[in-house]
Amino acid sequence: MTFNPLRERGIPLDKQLRNWRELNVTPIDPDHADPYTRCRIIAMNGIEVEAVMFSHQMARHCPDTEIKQQLARVRYIEAQQQKAVNWLLPGLASVLETTLAYEQVAVDLTAWVARMEPDPYLQQAYQFGVLEDFDHLYRYANLYEMIEHRKAEKVVDQLTEVMPGRPTIMHHRDPVDNVREPYDRATVDPLSKLHALTIMSAEQQTMNFYMNVGPEYMEPIARRLYQEIGLIEEEHVTHYESLVDPGETWWEMLLNHEYNECYLYHSFMETETDPKVKAIWELHLNMELEHLRLAAEMFNKHDTRDVAEVVSPKLPKPVTFEPNKEYVRDLIATQIDYTTIGTGYVQEAHERFEKFQEQIHGGEQPPSEAVIEENKAKSGEEYRLETEGPHPVERLRLS
């Protein structure tokens, strides 16, 4: 069955406003929910946050009051959607448990996107990034065991492995080296544009989350680890946002955003295991179809091209949360020692990298290393979840 989001009819905009009762969603059960349901919620929250912030940016660059009013109407609905989605998370989970789930999203969503990405340069960008968030999961899992005396498999289940990736200490690069080359909007596969927007939004939300929750902890090691990884998420946002062609017009960007929302709600509706959550994906899809229609209308009015030149009439294969264990293991085995230089990649440390490393570490061990040692001292051994055998890199195996 082909689903053409440009043809489907959604809910008229003036029927989309929800009252307090309708916004008051029932959260998922923290002990029995499918971990990938939680991942879909976190990913979709990142998409809605981006929808709201992008629309604000567009409004701030828009001199036309009528267009601003139209943006404000749709944006208010996006803001309600963000509330409905993010409030599916149960208040019972600790900040650190939610953090583990954020990194699980980063691992399994980025790995899926890397597997599906048709362009080799863009694919390399996702492969490079996924090994870093994979390592963050391991660092936070050790913090979790140390200060909450629980194991990360309580959150990630057996779906995502927890072990060293590219060590976090190596993620601190000169900011210049975090900027990638953009795709060309005229020739790129439409799927690549959706991928870039999705991962950029997810990383941006992770960055925002860490910058806000990091100081909520009292334990010095926790406060420090959030600072360190929060700064890497800043690098990741720079890395992924620079993949998007900056030559896209505001109308084109708006169209891409609404289209991507349709794509992801449709994907999650197709793959959701929790019927109550699925009903929300379906409702929001029906709202987004109308947002997309309105964005296309604006595009037709203000851009010279045809909508079909920018977005595809057929949705790609659904974005699916599923284990990517072998894929990630292969990347660890082959790309663990990669770093970036300019807009490319190298396997050896270079001068600018080493200079930055020297400055940021100041001759001391960073929190991401300290957390492993401190947990070893406290719990007897470091925390790992290696379900598929020993670590693929020999020097990173447990002795």
**Residues that bind Fe ion in the complex, under the rule CB under 5 A:** 51, 78, 81, 106, 133, 136, 203, 233, 236, 258, 261, 288, 291
Query: If 0-12 CB within 10 Å is exposed, 13-18 middle and 19+ buried, where does residue 87 land?
Result: middle
Min dist CB 140 to Fe ion, Å, is: 9
Min dist CB 399 to Fe ion, Å, is: 27
Complex with Fe ion: residue 195 or 236, whichever CB lies closer:
236
Min dist CB 187 to Fe ion, Å, is: 27
Min dist CB 174 to Fe ion, Å, is: 18
Distance CA 393, CA 345 (A): 20
Min dist CB 316 to Fe ion, Å, is: 18
Instruction: Tell me phi and psi for residue 385, to 5 degrees.
Output: -135, 90
Min dist CB 203 to Fe ion, Å, is: 5
Min dist CB 249 to Fe ion, Å, is: 18
Complex with Fe ion: residue 136 or 193, whichever CB lies closer:
136
Complex with Fe ion: residue 36 or 209, whichever CB lies closer:
209
Complex with Fe ion: residue 146 or 207, whichever CB lies closer:
207
Distance CA 164, CA 279 (A): 37
Complex with Fe ion: residue 73 or 355, whichever CB lies closer:
73
Task: Give a three-class secondary structure readout of the chain.
Answer: CCCCCCCCCCCCHHHCCCCHHHHCCCCCCCCCCCHHHHHHHHHHHHHHHHHHHHHHHHHHCCCCHHHHHHHHHHHHHHHHHHHHHHCCCCCCCCHHHHHHHHHHHHHHHHHHHHHHCCCHHHHHHHHHHHHHHHHHHHHHHHHHHHHHCCCCHHHHCCCCCECCCCCHHHHCCCHHHHCCCCCCCCCCCHHHHHHHHHHHHHHHHHHHHHHHHHHHCCCHHHHHHHHHHHHHHHHHHHHHHCCCCCCCCHHHHHHHHHHHHHHHHHHHHHHCCCHHHHHHHHHHHHHHHHHHHHHHHHHHHHCCCCHHHCCCCCCCCCCCCCCCHHHHHHHHHHHCCCEEECCEEECCCCHHHHHHHHHHHCCCCCHHHHHHHHHHHHHCCCCCECCCCCCCCHHHCCC
Complex with Fe ion: residue 193 or 236, whichever CB lies closer:
236
Min dist CB 71 to Fe ion, Å, is: 11
Min dist CB 32 to Fe ion, Å, is: 26
Min dist CB 308 to Fe ion, Å, is: 20
Complex with Fe ion: residue 192 or 368, whichever CB lies closer:
368
Complex with Fe ion: residue 311 or 380, whichever CB lies closer:
311
Complex with Fe ion: residue 256 or 375, whichever CB lies closer:
256
Going from the C-alpha of 187 to that of each of 12, 191, 290, the distances in angstroms are: 34, 12, 27
Complex with Fe ion: residue 106 or 222, whichever CB lies closer:
106
